[in-house]
Amino acid sequence: MLDALGREIDYVRISVTDRCNLRCIYCMPEDGIQMMRHEDILTYDEIVRVCRIFAAMGIKYIRITGGEPLVRRDIIRLLKSIKAVKGIEKVTLTTNGVLLSGMIQDLKDSDIDGINISLDSLDRETYAHMTRYDCLQQVIEGIDEALRLQIPVKINCVSMRDQAGNGVLDAAERIRQVAELARDRKMDVRFIELMPIGYGKQYGYLPEDEIKDILSERFGILTEDDESRGNGPGHYYTLAGFAGKIGFISAMSHQFCQTCNRVRLTSQGYLKSCLQYNIGTDLREKLRSNGRDEEIEALIRQAILDKPEKHQFREAVTDQAERSCMSQIGG
Ligand code: SAM
Ligand code: SF4
């Protein structure tokens, strides 16, 4: 459906849990956040029902995220149920990849349309510093298993300024190493500018233009790729000799709000119409009080109509600004 500014909203990111098996420094504190009670998060039946209503309103793409979605029990069942919803054309997943290799055949069998794997460093020490867990090898295995089963994979790497020191790589080398994954593997590597949300506020972002300089110095000219990829805000470049492309999602330096096509559903059933603001609507209350489909649809419609024009991450923060963390919103 169209929002008040004429943007076509056809994509929903659904967070299925606020729990996670990592503690990325820009996303969660070391001892975790206060977990929600299980009864506070939407059940699979509730999520599938909302997906049916979304689909009837013109939503075509669903991405399952978290927290870490693979830690929620029976997640494959949910993926299969959403895949079966009439009108939903693609169901994808965003994961940190830690549990991927053990679940990869089930994911393939669920007919998943793609997996985005978050990976901030290929250096064991740096990875352990950034995620607070020493499990880089498991993630690499997950990536290679997914590729072996020909599941479309994209790598997401956060563009964050230096964390160098104590055996940790500087940002430039970290970025170069992750980009190099796309040399031999047919998968795109995307750099996502760190946004000042939750625990991310304490770090600076590394702008796209600086990353391009870092990469072209090592790998040669980045050539703009016109071919559109997926249904998101990423734009892509090719590098000579690389099997995969290099992408950028640059909410800070190249704001893309005028083409935003998405809304987000938190694990508690709150529909957020913009990443930055708390503006949205509580669907859980209506779902649990015998609300009819038409009533839920009306709430969704109003939330989409009220979608803010743009984020103001680089400007003064307003009362409505987001105060929770990315693990609760789902990225
Ligand atoms: N746990 C899964 C994962 O890490 O892929 C899914 C949820 S995680 C919140 C989704 C994505 O958000 C990850 O790629 C993570 O790097 C990114 N992210 C977290 N905090 C961020 C921030 N402040 N700015 C930009 N991206 C962020
Ligand atoms: Fe967990 Fe993903 Fe947040 Fe890292 S970015 S702490 S993996 S939810």
Our CA dihedral for 199, 201, 206, 208, rounded to 10 degrees, sits at: 100
* pLDDT tens sequence for the chain (331 residues): 898 889 999 999 999 999 999 999 999 999 878 888 999 999 999 999 999 999 999 999 999 999 999 999 999 999 999 999 999 999 999 999 999 999 999 999 999 999 999 999 999 999 999 999 999 999 999 999 999 999 999 999 999 998 777 789 999 999 999 999 999 999 999 999 999 988 999 999 999 999 999 999 999 999 999 776 666 788 999 999 999 999 999 988 888 888 899 999 999 999 998 887 788 999 999 999 999 999 999 999 999 998 887 776 666 555 455 556 777 777 7
Ligand 1 atom with least separation from CA of 20: 1
Burial of 25 (0-12, 13-18, 19+ CB in 10 A): buried
DSSP state of 3: -
Q: Is 330 in the pocket of ligand 2 (CB under 6 A)?
A: no
pLDDT, residue 275, reads: 82
Given a contact cutoff of 8 angstroms between Cβ atoms, the answer to whether 110 and 80 are in contact is: yes
Q: Are 268 and 16 in contact (CB under 8 A)?
A: no
Q: H helices of 12-110, where?
A: 44-56, 75-83, 100-109
Q: Give the closest residue (by CA) to ligand 1 atom 26.
A: 194
How many residues are listed for the chain in this entry? 331
Calculate the alpha carbon distances from 175 to 31, 81, 145, 312 in Å: 27, 37, 23, 26
Measured distance CA(188)–CA(38) in Å, rounded: 35
Nearest-atom number in ligand 2 for the CA of 326 is 3
Ligand nearest to C-alpha 33: 2
Indicate if ligand 1 lies below 6 Å from the C-beta of 66.
yes
Of 202, 176, 313, 180, which Cα lies nearest the Cα of 256? 313
pLDDT at 42: 97
Rounded to the nearest angstrom, the distance between the alpha carbon of 67 and the centre of ligand 2 is: 6
Q: Is 156 near ligand 2, meaning CB less than 6 Å away?
A: no
Q: Residue written as tokens 């949205």?
A: 280
The pLDDT value recorded for residue 322 is 56
Cβ–Cβ < 8 Å for 178, 119: yes
Q: Is the CB of 28 under 6 A from ligand 2?
A: yes
H or E element at residue 205: none
Q: Give the model's pLDDT for residue 4.
A: 86
User: What is the best residue among 21, 192, 248, 325 to mutate for testing ligand 1's pocket, by most ligand atoms within 8 Å of CB?
Assistant: 192
What is the H or E stretch that residue 287 is in?
A: helix 283-287
The owner of tokens 């494959």 is 76
Q: Which atom of ligand 2 is nearest to the CA of 131?
A: 4
The CA-based angle 49-50-52, given to 5 degrees, is 65
Question: CB of 97 closer than 6 A to ligand 1?
Answer: no
Give residue 188's region: left, alpha or beta (phi > 0; psi -120 to 50).
Answer: beta
Across the chain, the runs of DSSP E, i.e. the strands, are: 11-15, 61-65, 90-95, 114-118, 153-159, 188-193, 223-225, 235-238, 246-249, 262-265, 270-272, 280-282
Nearest CA to ligand 1 atom 11: 331
d(CA 66, CA 49): 19
**pTM, to two decimals:** 0.94
> Whose CA is closest to 85, among 145, 14, 21?
14
| pLDDT for position 315 | 64
Please indicate whether residue 96, judged by its CB atom, sits closer than 6 Å to ligand 1: yes
Amino acid present at 75: I
Phi, psi of 141 (to 5 degrees): -60, -40
pLDDT score recorded for residue 117: 98
Q: Is 326 in the pocket of ligand 1 (CB under 6 A)?
A: yes
